[in-house]
Amino acid sequence: MKPATDQNTEQLIENFSDTMRKHLREHTDGTNVNTASLLTTDYLNHYSGMVMLLEQLPQTPEELIIYLLSWEPISYEEHFATSGFRDSDLAITAYRHAPEHIRSTFDMVIERLHDESLKALDSVRRQAEAGNTQGLSQTCEQSAPLLRELIDEASAIVNQQGHSQSAIDEHF
């Protein structure tokens, strides 16, 4: 059993967090920050752009390979700090105060999206360096749907579209 002072401190922290989330939710109207999750899908545009390049690469590899291989994953906060997004300060602050179970689930999917994106880019790089256009096309065809699925999963978490923690756990 925890000492009473630890319990009191935990209760104060929880009360502060609840108050902060309520305050942030009052500022989400007219923004792209989801009121329930306190996250925004605008971050996922960074990945969607990369996937679009990946999907188009087999048709015009010479033109797109440089853009695709220069892509790097960035964190949620880095994205909004550098994006020029109108509500970037709100997006960053809301992310920091998003409900723990939502944010941790979102972060888990994003971590997998980071990893799978880097694997795809590494494979693209290797195939391009070897001049293997068939392998390049195959990499793109196999990677893009998986990345789109992860983007959709992250979007569903942001929009709170009926994905329970157990369903998300099963996904992994």
| Per-residue model confidence as pLDDT tens for the chain (172 residues) | 666 667 777 777 676 667 667 767 777 787 889 999 999 999 999 999 999 999 999 998 888 999 999 999 999 999 999 988 889 999 999 999 999 999 999 999 999 999 999 999 999 999 999 999 999 999 999 999 999 999 999 999 999 986 544 444 444 3
Domain containing residue 69: 32-171
Q: Position of tokens 């087999």?
A: 58
- 42 occurs within a structural domain: yes
What is the number of structural domains in the chain? 1
The SS3 assignment for 75 reads: coil
- 12 occurs within a structural domain: no
Question: What is the pTM for the complete model shown?
Answer: 0.83
- 46 occurs within a structural domain: yes
Please give the Cα distance from 113 to 44 (Å, whole number).
10
What is the DSSP secondary structure assignment for residue 44, as one 8-state letter? G
- Side chain identity at 51, as an amino acid letter? V
- 69 occurs within a structural domain: yes
- 10 occurs within a structural domain: no
